[in-house]
Chain A
């Protein structure tokens, strides 16, 4: 079991970083609680893999500390940290049988053959690999191969955390959900800390209790799927999560309302309270799911550009001044004509200053 803390951590691959742009990871403090299932979400190149490799010890951080259960492990080599890592592509020892593949990490650590047999059979049963133990790993399908990679991590009894680096990339779509459920099941059974790197929001939202969103080497938000959806801490999270992402509109402030293109959009008390300290570029953000069409003359007038039928709902692209706004309508709601009025429910209308949520 392990609680993993990152203290003041930063990393740059080149020698002497001269500015923030040279960092693959910018300075961060972060805690992975013991037994949590985390997803690490972000676009390619945002530093997810670097962060993972720092935790497992494959990469030495250039600054800061990695702490496992209160003990600093910066200098502890990978093989002596009790973490396992599963990579994007299944890594197998081609010449070995499935059994030998699973036994490999234990043999390297000098575990007795009896004990190895016990562990391998236990893990194989858990991963439904029992009947292929004698086969050669190289001839199996991608999903079985990836299960072997996971198994090599789990077979060590001292493993406290398993790190997954986009493990389902090469798995057929129809097998993905099965493998993901298997991982979830293992998490519930073994209570390991799991960190799951992905750039796919559905994968992150279905797998994890808590999601860490990264962008350009920074952690921009840590929260439950619901928090990320309802209160994105950063415009990036708003864009990245949801389909389509959150609508953002440049605005000014006037009394109890935000002003967009001359139209007043009332804000909640809570937002207004926080807005007093807000500085810099202001935007309001609202999810397409929360925008409403209204007949009321207080609504913001918008041009309807197109309507797309998406089965369970309709997606409407509208324009307010220079801003594009998406609105999601349930199937049973009436369609607007060329012009419509939009209502911004104050409880879902958030304010962002310099891309960060005002709160």
Chain B
């Protein structure tokens, strides 16, 4: 019932000046920090709307002439836009694979004890710690030898190395929050395990599934080293396209900035969908 009032801000009214200051300081700190976050992004956006001549010419805080040429180039040149499609394709694939294998495993970890369960869990998490650089060469050879090199599946599979452990970890937290009596009741009502899992259990942890998907998407989307190593042309990610274009044709700042802006959009869209669960998601379901 007291939920509607912030217990931290509902302070004593007898020291009005003190509370007014105390209430303002956090806001000011937060705004300054967000300003610090947004300034580089603003600069990126500003450059993306400028012709190169203006970028390297006179210093201005905002574009004097706004041009969409950089964006038009990306959307019309297939070597650019296929990069985006490739990235979205393997990121999506990775998210689906990670969720599909992690869901039953997380259920097992949250509900049962079995031989080696603790060690297994720890082993999974250690894979989150492995520096991708360690695996670059073996990955390259492995995927080459099984004929997956330069496919979307290769990148999607490689990214499961860090996304599956994370997905199991987050989902296990959410699942442990669902009382076990729920399962037992469903079995008594004659549900089979798969039907119970899909019809009853999944809807209960839908927020957790959304948050996990978000994390898988995010970590797959931002990774470059493995994605670049395992692809050459057919599945080349946008991030790699960006680095290669830089070295080939010198510094085309405007184009690079526009490509950078476009890499922000999928992530921003995804976070919009999970915005209401994100605080809980960042506690990995253990709140």
Contacts and interface: CB of A to CB of B under 8 A. Distances in A.
Interface of A: 13-14, 24, 45, 47, 49-50, 53, 58-60, 75-80
Given A58-B2, A60-B13, A75-B13, 20 more contacts: A13-B4, A14-B4, A24-B1, A45-B1, A49-B1, A49-B2, A50-B1, A50-B2, A53-B1, A58-B7, A58-B10, A59-B2, A59-B5, A59-B10, A76-B14, A77-B11, A77-B13, A77-B14, A78-B12, A80-B12
Nearest to A76: B14
21 contacts: A13-B5, A14-B4, A24-B1, A45-B1, A47-B1, A49-B1, A50-B1, A53-B1, A53-B2, A58-B2, A58-B10, A59-B10, A60-B10, A60-B13, A75-B13, A75-B14, A77-B11, A77-B13, A78-B12, A79-B12, A80-B12
A14 B12 CA distance: 20
Contacts of B14: 75-77
Contacts of A79: 12
Contacts of A58: 2, 7, 10
A80 B10 CA distance: 15
Nearest to B13: A75
Contacts of A59: 2, 5, 10
Contacts of A14: 4
Contacts of A78: 12
Interface in B1-55: 1-2, 4-5, 7, 10-14
A65 B14 CA distance: 16
Contacts of A76: 14
Nearest to A46: B1
Interface residues of B, number: 10
Nearest to B2: A53
Contacts of B13: 60, 75, 77
Q: 9 smallest A-B Cβ distances: which pairs?
A: A77-B12, A13-B4, A49-B1, A50-B1, A75-B13, A53-B2, A75-B14, A59-B5, A59-B2
Nearest to B4: A13
Contacts of B11: 77
A79 to B, nearest CB: 8
Nearest to A44: B1
Contacts of A77: 11-14
Contacts of B4: 13-14
Contacts of A75: 13-14
B5 to A, nearest CB: 6
Interface of B: 1-2, 4-5, 7, 10-14
Contacts of B10: 58-60
Contacts of B12: 77-80
A78 B5 CA distance: 15
Nearest to B12: A77
Contacts of B7: 58
A91 to B, nearest CB: 12
Nearest to A77: B12
Nearest to B14: A75
A233 B184 CA distance: 45
Contacts of B5: 13, 59
B287 to A, nearest CB: 15
A76 B10 CA distance: 13
A113 to B, nearest CB: 27
A53 B7 CA distance: 11
Contacts of A53: 1-2
A73 B273 CA distance: 46
A50 B12 CA distance: 18
A24 B5 CA distance: 13
A79 B11 CA distance: 11
Contacts of A13: 4-5
A60 B4 CA distance: 12
Nearest to A47: B1
A49 B2 CA distance: 8
A97 B4 CA distance: 32
Most chain A CB atoms below 10 A, which of B2, B7, B13, B14: B2
Contacts of A49: 1-2
Give the interface centre of A49, A53, A80 by most chain B CB atoms within 10 Å. A53
A198 B1 CA distance: 14
A78 B10 CA distance: 11
Nearest to B7: A58
A77 B13 CA distance: 7
A164 to B, nearest CB: 15
A14 B14 CA distance: 22
A79 B10 CA distance: 13
Contacts of B2: 49-50, 53, 58-59
A78 to B, nearest CB: 8
A24 B12 CA distance: 22
B257 to A, nearest CB: 45
A13 B10 CA distance: 13
A80 B5 CA distance: 20
B227 to A, nearest CB: 44
The residue among B1, B4, B7 with the most chain A CB atoms within 10 A of its own CB is B1
A77 B10 CA distance: 10
B4 to A, nearest CB: 4
Contacts of A45: 1
A60 B9 CA distance: 12
A13 B3 CA distance: 10
A10 to B, nearest CB: 15
B6 to A, nearest CB: 11
A58 B13 CA distance: 12
A20 to B, nearest CB: 17
